[in-house]
């Protein structure tokens, strides 16, 4: 099965962990090999799935439309960029009105500033309006997935080893993040 | 070591009615192993082959496994190279593509279906579609990463009266619909072979008029693994509320088949679903699909407790 092309899984990570990520790499030198972003809890992301609240959107393009949007989850904000190479997503964002709950399938992308800070953002493949129940389910699911990764951090899984080496992850920070996220999203 | 192997070979030959002096077997083995440095397994094979030829014994008679062949079900087949007995119904016979193959197709029992290959050299009786048989001493194999069963010269096939019911293995998967692939929505199928047309062209029959159909090729993702799903017209109509007639009208009005796909994507992408149905290759053929109900409060509480522990 390994010889066949297999689609990249859409990982679930919270905005805080995504923002803390700065290790981006490829598995081989082949130009078609996929780009990954490794997060502090060891998610090796080429594709991700986010549900959050669209709070701001702005067309920052000069000639063609180029949309920047801010999508907020209980732990922080994701920055989304969609332009002419993401026509479906760009059109969807253009038609949306903030605030709204939206679901995004997309690819992580990183940008390094002059002072060396790495900024993460998401290039969407698809963007759709969803309901509150979907958002709540995403928070719970993302908590579960993140917890699984945290529990796996001290194993000899290569992604976990690499994450610990690079980030020296303080597990308590992310555990607290999960508790807060879960409490915040499920209170009435 | 050599004595033991020789004894095994001698016993096996005597079981099938040939008494070969053990000293002769031993000396041949000894010569190969000790004088010519042949590895023991290879030596054994070579000695056995020598006597098979010498006494004109069909290879199958020697290598057939005695009594030990287990009777199993299709879903139990998880390794290649195993000799088994199996009762199954011939589901389909395919056009055979090679002269060394007598018949090829699909057999199945209540646990699933599997491809079979009946070698021409096996000289076995012809199988008929829809009839059930007991297949004895057949061997499992894998071809292009899928399991199959081969019928060879040592196999026996007997028709049985029982009508075996073909079952399928139902699987369930829950996750987010993260993608709907090209070839979904309102499509056309070839009237000859039912294949989906690509830009009005059938892969087999070229440019044909075709008939309309509605389907969804979806990708469901739970954050750990990815599952492809095929949703047929009936289930698509239920799920989207768009019937085939609605879809045709939408397409006619907009002069574009794509509008249907866009509408379907808007309704389904980014939402959580639970699907159920038989597995075929990498797909689940969806018979049931339902939105996942809201999280139950006690499950969330349990998760919190676990986290704060």
CB contact under 8 A, B223 and A49: yes
A10-181 carries CATH number 3.30.565.10: no
CB contact under 8 A, A179 and B304: yes
**Per residue in A91-102, pLDDT tens?**
999 999 989 999
> Reduced to 3 states, what is the DSSP secondary structure of residue B22?
helix
CB contact under 8 A, A137 and B308: no
- Residues A11 and A45: beta-carbon distance below 8 Å: yes
Helices B244-254, B258-268: inter-axial angle, 10-degree rounding: 120
Q: Could you state, in order of their start, the residue ranges of all structural domains in chain A?
A: 10-181
Query: Distance between CA atoms of B112 and A143, rounded to whole angstroms?
Result: 37
CATH fold of B170-291, please? OB fold (Dihydrolipoamide Acetyltransferase, E2P) (2.40.50)
B166 touching A (Cβ < 8 Å): no
Domains B74-160 and B170-291 share a fold: yes
Find, among A68, A179, A186, the residue nearest to A127 by Cα: A68
pLDDT value, residue B76:
86
Question: Which CATH architecture is the domain B74-160 placed in?
Answer: Beta Barrel (2.40)
Q: How confident is the model at residue A18 (pLDDT cuts 50, 70, 90)?
A: very high
The residues in A 139-178 lying below 8 A from B, measured between CB atoms, are: 140-145, 147, 175, 178
With 60 as the cut, is the pLDDT of residue A4 above it? Answer: no
CB contact under 8 A, B307 and A175: yes
Instruction: Name the stretches of chain B with pLDDT < 50.
Output: none
Q: How confident is the model at residue A188 (pLDDT cuts 50, 70, 90)?
A: low
Better-scored residue on pLDDT, B99 or A188: B99
Number of H helices, E strands in chain B: 8, 15
Mean pLDDT of A88-117: 94
Q: Write the CB contacts of A36 (distance below 8 Å, at least 6 apart in sequence).
A: A24, A25, A26, A27, A44, A45, A46
pLDDT value, residue B66:
55
Mean pLDDT of A10-15: 97
B235 phi and psi, to 5 degrees?
A: -70, -35
A2 touching B (Cβ < 8 Å): no
User: Which of A1, A3, A6, A10 would best serve as a mutation to test chain B binding (most B beta carbons within 10 A)?
Assistant: A10
Q: Could you state, in order of their start, the residue ranges of all structural domains in chain B?
A: 2-63, 74-160, 170-291
pLDDT value, residue A3:
39
pLDDT value, residue B81:
83
pLDDT value, residue A161:
95
> Reduced to 3 states, what is the DSSP secondary structure of residue B217?
strand
What is the complex's ipTM, to 2 decimals?
0.90
For B77, the token pair is: 């087949």
Mean pLDDT of A174-179: 95
Q: How confident is the model at residue A187 (pLDDT cuts 50, 70, 90)?
A: low
B189 beta partners: B196, B211
Comparing A13-17, A121-125, B205-209, the range with the smallest average pLDDT is B205-209
- Give the pTM: 0.71
CB contact under 8 A, A51 and B295: no
pLDDT value, residue B299:
82
The residues in B 51-90 lying below 8 A from A, measured between CB atoms, are: none
Query: Distance between CA atoms of A40 and A149, rounded to whole angstroms?
Result: 10
Better-scored residue on pLDDT, B62 or A76: A76
Q: B223 to chain A: nearest residue by CA?
A: A11
CB contact under 8 A, B300 and A186: yes
């Amino acid at each position: 099965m390994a010889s066949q092309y297999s689609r990249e899984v859409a990982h679930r990570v919270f905005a805080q962990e995504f923002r803390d990520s700065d290790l981006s790499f490829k598995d081989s030198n082949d130009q078609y090999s996929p780009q990954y972003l490794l997060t502090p809890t060891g998610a090796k992301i080429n594709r991700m799935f986010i549900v959050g609240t669209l709070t701001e959107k702005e067309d920052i393009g000069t000639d063609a439309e180029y949309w920047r949007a801010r999508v907020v989850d209980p732990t922080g904000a994701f920055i989304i960029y969609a332009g002419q190479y993401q026509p479906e997503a760009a059109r969807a964002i253009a038609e949306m009105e903030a605030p709204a709950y939206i679901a995004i399938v997309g690819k992580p992308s990183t940008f390094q500033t002059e002072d060396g800070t790495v900024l993460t953002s998401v290039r969407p493949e698809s963007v759709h309006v969803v309901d509150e129940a979907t958002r709540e389910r995403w928070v719970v699911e993302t908590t579960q997935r993140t917890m699984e990764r945290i529990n796996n951090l001290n194993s000899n899984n290569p992604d976990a080893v690499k994450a610990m080496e690079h980030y020296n992850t303080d597990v308590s920070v992310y555990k607290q993040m999960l508790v807060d996220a879960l409490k915040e999203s499920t209170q009435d | 070591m050599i004595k033991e192997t020789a004894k095994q070979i001698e016993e096996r030959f005597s079981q099938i009615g040939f008494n070969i002096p053990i000293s002769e077997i031993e000396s041949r083995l000894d010569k190969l192993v000790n004088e010519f440095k042949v590895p023991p397994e290879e030596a054994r094979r070579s000695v056995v082959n020598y006597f098979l030829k010498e006494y004109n014994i069909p290879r199958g008679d020697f290598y057939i496994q005695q009594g030990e062949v287990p009777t199993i079900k299709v879903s139990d087949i998880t390794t290649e190279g195993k000799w088994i007995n199996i009762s199954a119904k011939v589901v389909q016979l395919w056009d055979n593509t090679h002269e060394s193959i007598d018949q090829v197709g699909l057999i199945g029992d209540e646990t699933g279906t599997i491809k079979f290959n009946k070698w021409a050299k096996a000289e076995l009786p012809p199988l008929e579609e829809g009839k059930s048989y007991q297949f004895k001493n057949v061997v499992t194999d894998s071809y292009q990463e899928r399991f199959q069963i081969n019928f060879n010269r040592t196999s026996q096939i007997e028709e049985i009266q029982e009508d075996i019911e073909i079952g399928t293995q139902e699987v369930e998967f829950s996750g987010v619909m993260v993608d709907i692939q090209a070839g979904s929505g309102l499509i056309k199928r070839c009237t000859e072979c039912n294949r989906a047309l690509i830009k009005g062209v059938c892969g087999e029959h070229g440019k044909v008029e075709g008939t309309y159909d509605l389907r969804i090729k979806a990708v469901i993702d739970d954050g750990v693994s990815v599952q492809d799903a095929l949703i047929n017209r009936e289930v698509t109509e239920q799920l989207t509320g768009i019937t085939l007639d609605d879809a045709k009208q939408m397409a006619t009005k907009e002069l574009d088949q794509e509008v249907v796909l866009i509408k379907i994507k808007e309704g389904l992408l980014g939402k959580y679903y639970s699907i159920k149905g038989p597995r075929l290759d990498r797909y689940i053929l969806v018979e049931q699909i339902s939105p996942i109900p809201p999280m139950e409060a006690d499950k969330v509480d349990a998760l919190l407790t676990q986290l704060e522990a």
